[in-house]
Every structure is written in C-alpha cells, then in structure tokens.
C-alpha cells in the first residue's frame, strides 16, 4: 500500500493532527510550512485558496491585528484560549504596540498598510491581491514609490511617481501617506516583534472562500464580516465602535489578527510567495 492508496480525508486528518502536535511542542513556524502546503487547497496563481481546514484558527501565541482609523490606529488582540478579540486604540503605531506589549507578549503584529515601498516600479503584492479579489479589485490601491511618498503634496507626488513607474497618484494612495511613512519608519527601526502586511479583504476572502461583495460600511457588509470571523472561530469583538474608530475599522483589524495568528502558527502564505525586496531591505508581500 502506498501513500496514494490512502483515503484523502484520512491523510488530511493525520497531517492536521501532526501539525497541531508539532505546534504545541514549540516547533518554529518556518519549519512547519511544508506540512501546511500539503494541507492547503491548490489554487490558480493569483487566487486565494480557502484557509486550510474549516475549524477555528489555532491561536498559539498573542497576536495583534492593526487597522488605521480616525483616532490613529485600532488593534484587535488575540490570545490563546480567548476567541473574543480585545480592542485597543492609540494615536501612533508605536504607542499601540507598546501598550499591548505591556499587557502581554506579542509574537506577530499584522497591519493593514503597505510595508516595503518600491523604488521604480509597482508592487507584485498589490497586483496579486487585486487578482485574488474578482469584483472587489478596487479595494486594493497601488502603493506609490518611496520617492513619491516623500513629496509634500499630491501634485508633486504624482509627477515623481509618473517619472519613476509611469503611474499617476490616486487620492486614496496619497491620503494614507502619513500613516504609511509612520509605519515605514517604525519597521525600518527593526522592532523586536515580527511585523507583516495584511489586506483585510484578501483575508476575508480566504475565510469565506471568495470575496465579500457587500460593502464593509453597510449593515449587510458588517454582518457578512462578523459571520466570516465566526466561521473561523473568532467571536464578535469586545467593542465594535467608539470615539475615533468605526465598526469596519474593528472588523478589518480582526481579519488582520486572524492572518497574524495563522502566521504565528506557520499556516499563512504570502502574495507573492517569495516577497519582493526593494532598496529598503523590507520584504514586500501581503500575507493571508
């Protein structure tokens, strides 16, 4: 009898049980990724396969998912044995992460902001994320070149970006300039925690098996996102909205936290699979 003769469902169950046992034994996440690839459903290039398995996400260590908001930044903290995300808010990314680290150690911080700015091209991560969201591709904006973000206004940024990569500057991409540069400075200072870029819509698509069509600011969209989180074992957040942050900000942070938990468990993958590296030396990829 060969491995090809084994019932696929039995093979998957054995692999899942083995992976769980290795994680509990403290094996490094990187060492477990080959096992995860055997579990992950195959997908066409540029698409996002559904998350391996259909059960709850295995939170093996505290992780933080972060999204920008009017107040600055809102975080969703996931801890082992606590399926309900805790909500934390701070004016700066440094203050947010340090506030959480004073409470508990954090293994991975996922953040919904571009990390790894290109020099003279567009990013493969953005293009692949758009391909993974048929019907929702517009939710992924093109990251500008580093030189464009360093300009004081949109007109100057538009001129520089066209010179560098041939593309103009959209309002959304430039509106996030301050937050992108804030995170860029923090990541370049090499914080003592792993930081990964996550796009909430790509994560929600992985949870649900396809893009969530309803807008995130609508009642239907909020409900669809709460249900997608519940399907992967995450309870409704402790708080959904407050001063300076809205329900869609919190739910996006929860989706980012889900991917951060997968990263900590060795179950995540990235777009592209091998991250690009530009002159800043920071791997540029969107994790799922």
Q: Which domain holds residue 271?
A: 40-116+184-287
33 is a domain residue: no
Give the model confidence (pLDDT) of 24-42 as tens digits. Answer: 444 444 444 444 444 444 4
142 is a domain residue: no
Q: Using CA atoms, how far apart are residues 140 and 187, in angstroms rounded to an integer?
A: 21
271 is a domain residue: yes
Give the model confidence (pLDDT) of 80-103 as tens digits. Answer: 999 899 999 999 999 999 999 999
- Average pLDDT, rounded, for the chain: 87
47 is a domain residue: yes
In the predicted model, what is the mean pLDDT of residues 258-280?
A: 97
Strand-pair partners of 286: 197, 271
Kindly report the CATH number assigned to the domain that includes residue 44: 3.30.420
Residue-level pLDDT at 55:
54
pLDDT of residue 44 exceeding 60, the answer is no
Question: What are the two backbone dihedrals, phi and then psi, of residue 285, each rounded to the nearest 5 degrees?
Answer: -160, 150
In the predicted model, what is the mean pLDDT of residues 246-271?
A: 98
In the predicted model, what is the mean pLDDT of residues 106-127?
A: 98
**Measured CA distances, 117 to 20, 67, 147 (Å):** 35, 18, 9
157 is a domain residue: no
124 is a domain residue: no
Pairing of strands 108-111, 82-90: unpaired
Residue-level pLDDT at 57:
87
264 is a domain residue: yes
Look up the pTM and report it.
0.82
Q: Using CA atoms, how far apart are residues 79 and 265, in angstroms rounded to an integer?
A: 13
Convert 20-37 to b/e letters by CB count within 10 Å (16 or more is b): eeebeeeeebeebeebbe
Q: How many domains does the chain have?
A: 1
147 is a domain residue: no
């Amino acid at each position: 009898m060969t491995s090809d003769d084994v019932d696929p469902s039995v093979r998957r169950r054995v692999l899942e049980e083995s992976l769980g046992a290795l994680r509990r034994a403290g094996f490094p996440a990187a060492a477990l990724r080959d096992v995860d690839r055997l579990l992950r459903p195959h997908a066409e290039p540029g698409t996002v396969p559904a998350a391996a398995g259909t059960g709850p996400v295995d939170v093996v260590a505290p992780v933080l998912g972060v999204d920008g908001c009017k107040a600055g930044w809102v975080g969703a903290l996931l801890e082992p044995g606590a399926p309900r995300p805790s909500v934390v808010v701070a004016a700066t990314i440094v203050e947010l992460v340090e506030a959480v680290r004073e409470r508990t150690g954090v293994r991975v911080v996922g953040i919904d902001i571009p990390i790894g700015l290109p020099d003279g091209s567009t990013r493969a991560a953005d293009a692949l994320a758009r391909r993974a969201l048929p019907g929702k591709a517009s939710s992924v904006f093109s990251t500008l070149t580093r030189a464009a973000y360093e300009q004081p206004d949109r007109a100057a940024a538009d001129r520089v970006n066209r010179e560098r990569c041939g593309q103009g500057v959209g309002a959304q991409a430039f509106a996030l300039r301050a937050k992108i540069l804030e995170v860029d400075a923090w990541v370049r200072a090499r914080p003592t925690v792993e930081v990964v870029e996550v796009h909430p819509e790509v994560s929600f698509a992985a949870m649900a098996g396809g893009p969530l069509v309803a807008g995130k600011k609508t009642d239907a969209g909020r409900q669809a996102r709460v249900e997608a989180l519940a399907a992967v074992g995450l309870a409704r957040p402790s708080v959904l909205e407050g001063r300076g942050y809205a329900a869609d900000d919190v739910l996006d942070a929860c989706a980012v936290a889900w991917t951060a938990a997968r990263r900590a468990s060795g179950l995540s993958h990235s777009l592209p699979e091998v991250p690009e590296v530009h002159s800043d030396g920071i791997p540029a990829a969107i994790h799922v």
